[in-house]
Amino acid sequence: MVEKQRGAMRLAACDPAAHALGLTAGMALADARARVPDLAVFDHDPVADLNLLGWLADGCERYTPACMLVPPQGLLLDITGCEHVFGDAARLAKDLHARFSRHGLSCRIALGRTPDSAQAKAKYAARAISDVPVEALDGGDKVHKALRRAGLRSIGDLAVRPRKPLAARFGKAVVVRLARLLEEEDPRITPRRSLPIIHVAQNFAEPISRTNDVLATIEMLAGNAALQLQERGQGGRRFEICLFRSDGHVARLAVDTGTPTRDAALLMRLIRERIDALSDPLDPGFGYDLIRLEVPIAEVLANVQVGLETKIDTDAAAAALIDRLSVRLGAERVRQFHARQSHIPERAALERVAQSDVAKADWPKADWPKPVPGEPAMRPFRLFETPQPIEVTAGFPEGEPRSFRWRRHVHRVTRVEGPERISPEWWRHPRGYAPGNGSLTRDYYRVEDNEGRRFWLFRRGLYDEIERPLWYLHGIFA
Amino acid sequence: MNKKPNHIQPTLSAGAFPSVQGMWKQYQSDAAQSLLPTGAPYVDERLRGGITQAGLHEFFGGAKADSHAAAAFALLLAWRLPESDAGIFWISGDKERQTSGRLYPYGLSAMGGDPARMLLVQTADLRDALRAAADAIRSKAASAVILETHGNARLVDLTSTRRLALAAAETGVLALLVRGDAVPMPSAARTRWRICSAPSAPLPGNAPGLPTFDISLLRHRGGAAPFAARVTWDHATRSFFDAPLSGGLSAIVTDTETGPASRQRA
């Protein structure tokens, strides 16, 4: 692997065979070629490396949900409380090593009480932390050189020295780092995914691949998770299924719900919908050997006694239906109306996702105008997202439309009301109210044609704003 | 959905409240049979009371541009349901939204509806839309489900409409199928209508008036004879009324099984 560093092509990484020939990372390519003329060279691709590392981290989540990337080559797993599944930490490491070698990857695994210690041991292939060279302190070349000159070559040499003179000479950071390496201070790692509130998992000695088995397992896990949620008085808003394939691949399925829930049956319906909606179906390959259900987001959900009223049923059914449709079609396809402060017609009404993470009660209350008895609707019941251009015959200069042509059909106007003048929101435009594009007044007309259809037309621009204003059809009245 | 009783569950022995259970059953079967009147006396008389609430009804646009009228009429019919009921689902595909625009809540509220009750479902294609409609009807979440389709679609056939009709009969949900720019094909709908926009009674200053429709009943499973009428929507009472013709006649009565005679006369 080569990469351009400091203006020259240098080796970025080499395989064990190259190491055996005496090549090391950082060597100039020309020097390496001189030593080994038939050297096979490839471009270094850091992005692909990072992707591979991410993929490996996904796979490692079978051991613990707390997993952290240490680019360019490291992975940190916090296995506190997770090792009993494998017996002890050494067996877990053995299992991990076996999985990596199955993929033809070489790795060094080290266990430590603190992330720093484990990382240093793995990096310098040391058995004990006292054998690790002082470079593990990450103090910079100057510090390392000074330490070596003082005869302190390894962490073990430093460990027996008093700390205060060290801090005075090399700075506090070195001492802190030393304490972490010596497993005296334990910083937490920052996992790449936030830890789920609840997770339940099922291991299989023999990988399973039939969809029904997978679903049955998920159902059992959902039941367990529901029990845990019940104990906490919570309901999940998001559920994630992780399917760990025996070859290391991990498939993740996430299901969101509009209201907190701990109903396993409902959850199963949503998960089935989710699996049905997958664009490429689940590929079990050689089977899954671990299935885990995580609840990353949960909210308070009180126990409710079902009353005799049917109203609760309707609300709950509505929430369930919205969840189902949102899972199947995508949350952005199930919407509700939402008002916004604006007098530009198309800006005044939005649609927002019905399955919102904001509780419904917190939504700004839209006060849709009440109808006036005897007055017809002044706004159309249907609005075109983009106003439809039409050709209009109208009185000059600012007269009513007489007839117009839309979608190759001529409509003769028999009744008309207008104009209703809507000024542009000039404060939104950088140049303020200036005649020209982007800030034109609209004159709206309610018209009815000779066949009894009612439309909402507007002329974009007054004659003193623009030379030739254009006409558009914006909406349709019932 | 998850609102389960957790502690004391009232234990009902089977025979303890026979009357309550009986009443409940009775109520449910009544609900299934109940009719939804349009409010226009002439129309309701010809329909013998109204359209079946627990059923599927089809609305065809008279001409290509009348798909909006069909959609509006279906929507207004759904608003005839009592306000306290559950939401109204409006299901349409990307294609329909592209050609017909979106529903505009200010217009809806101006016609007497409550936009907050509306739930909009936009699907990628008709297959999804039919499935979503069936789900919405089957759940007890909706009081009315309106499915809008555009063009002659082979998917909307006897099988798919029967699925919707059976679900509607079971749950008592009003299921309305709007078919813009389509030719009637065999279907399982209880009634089939052709809807056209009609000239409104003008307001002072020759301004367009209240929403007015020429409706013709093409088919009725209950055996009511086809008829045509002109109705106007009154948002104050949230009901239709028989529209007078400009000549001062009462609602037109023509045996227009075949053509939009009413339109030509208007």
B265 pLDDT band, cuts 50/70/90, is very low
Q: Is B112 exposed, middle or buried (0-12, 13-18, 19+ CB in 10 A)?
A: buried
Tell me, what's the pLDDT at A198?
85
pLDDT digits (tens, 9 = 90+) for A14-57: 777 777 787 877 788 888 888 888 877 788 888 888 888 888 88
Best-predicted range by mean pLDDT among A372-376, A430-434, B226-230?
Answer: B226-230
Between A126 and A413, the more confident residue is: A413
**What mean pLDDT is predicted for residues B57-79?**
92
- Band (pLDDT 50/70/90 cuts) for residue B196 is very high
Which among A266, A321, A373 is the nearest to B141, CB-wise? Answer: A321
Residue B205 has pLDDT above 80, yes or no: yes
**What is the pLDDT, as a whole number, of residue B62?**
87
Q: Which of B47, B50, B53 is nearest to B29 (CA)?
A: B53
pLDDT category of residue A110 using cuts at 50, 70 and 90:
confident
Contact B208 A446 (CB under 8 A): yes
What pLDDT score was predicted for residue B15?
47
CB–CB of A447 and B141 under 8 A? no
Report d(CA A155, CA A168) in Å as an integer: 18
Select the more confidently predicted residue: A283 or B80: B80
Do the chains contact at B6 and A349, CB–CB below 8 Å? no
Per-residue tokens: A139: 């103090």
Q: What mean pLDDT is predicted for residues A246-270? A: 84
Q: What is the DSSP string of A59-83?
A: HHTTT-S-EEEETTTEEEE--TTTG
Please check whether residue A407 is in contact with residue A473, taking contact to mean a CB–CB distance below 8 angstroms.
no
Phi, psi angles (nearest 5°) of residue B24? -60, -45
Q: For residue B120, is pLDDT > 90?
A: yes
Chain B CA closest to residue A376 = B210
A263 pLDDT above the threshold of 50: yes
Q: How far is A271 from chain B (nearest CA, A)?
A: 16
Q: Residue A436: left if φ>0, alpha if ψ -120 to 50, beta else—which one?
A: left
For residues A207 and A370, give the distance between their C-alpha atoms in angstroms, rounded to a whole number: 62
Mean pLDDT of B193-216: 92
Q: Between A164 and A397, whose confidence is greater?
A: A164
Per-residue pLDDT band at B250 (split at 50, 70, 90): very low
Distance CA A118, CA A89 (A): 13
Residue B208: exposure state from Cβ atoms within 10 A (0-12, 13-18, ≥19):
buried
Structure tokens at A193: 């995914």
pLDDT at site B161: 93
Q: Which residue has the higher pLDDT, B36 or B30?
A: B36
**The pLDDT value given to residue B178:** 94
Chain B residue with CA closest to A386: the answer is B101
pLDDT confidence of residue B257: 42
Number of other CB atoms surrounding residue A97 within 10 Å = 15
Residue B256 in this model has a pLDDT that exceeds 50: no
**pLDDT for residue B11:** 47
Radius of gyration (C-alpha) of chain A in whole angstroms: 34
Query: Mean pLDDT over all residues of chain A?
Result: 83
For chain B, what is the radius of gyration of the CA atoms?
20
CA distances from A102 to A74, A248, A403, A452 (A): 18, 10, 77, 75
pLDDT tens per residue, range A192-224? 777 788 888 888 888 888 888 888 899 999 999
Better-predicted residue by pLDDT, A194 or B80: B80
Which chain A residues have a beta carbon less than 8 Å from that of B207? 376, 415-417, 446
pLDDT at B248 (0 to 100): 40
The answer on pLDDT for A436 being more than 70 is no
- The whole-angstrom distance between A298's CA and the closest CA on chain B is 14
Query: Which two three-digit tokens encode residue B64?
Result: 């290509």
More confident residue, B245 or A427: A427
Of A339, A380, A452, the CB nearest to B212: A452
pLDDT > 70? residue B2: no
- Tell me the mean pLDDT in the region A148-162: 84
How much is the mean pLDDT over chain B? 82
Coil, helix or strand at residue A279? coil
Long-range contacts of A1-8 (CB under 8 A, 24+ apart): A1/A41, A1/A42, A1/A43, A1/A44, A2/A29, A2/A41, A2/A42, A2/A43, A2/A44, A3/A43, A3/A44
More confident position, A468 or B174: B174
Give the pLDDT confidence score for residue B32 in this predicted structure: 47
| Among A325, A410, A420, the residue to mutate for chain B (most B Cβ within 10 A) | A325
Q: What's the pLDDT at A399? A: 86
Separation CA A462–CA A443 (nearest Å): 8
Average the pLDDT over A462-475 and give the result. 86
Q: What is the pLDDT of residue B21?
A: 62
pLDDT digits (tens, 9 = 90+) for B150-165: 988 888 999 999 999 9
Q: Which residue of A has its CA nearest to B138?
A: A321
- CA of B190 to nearest chain A CA: how many angstroms apart? 24
**What value does the mean pLDDT take over residues B198-218?**
92
Task: Return the higher-pLDDT residue of B196 and A86.
Answer: B196
pLDDT at B213 over 90: yes
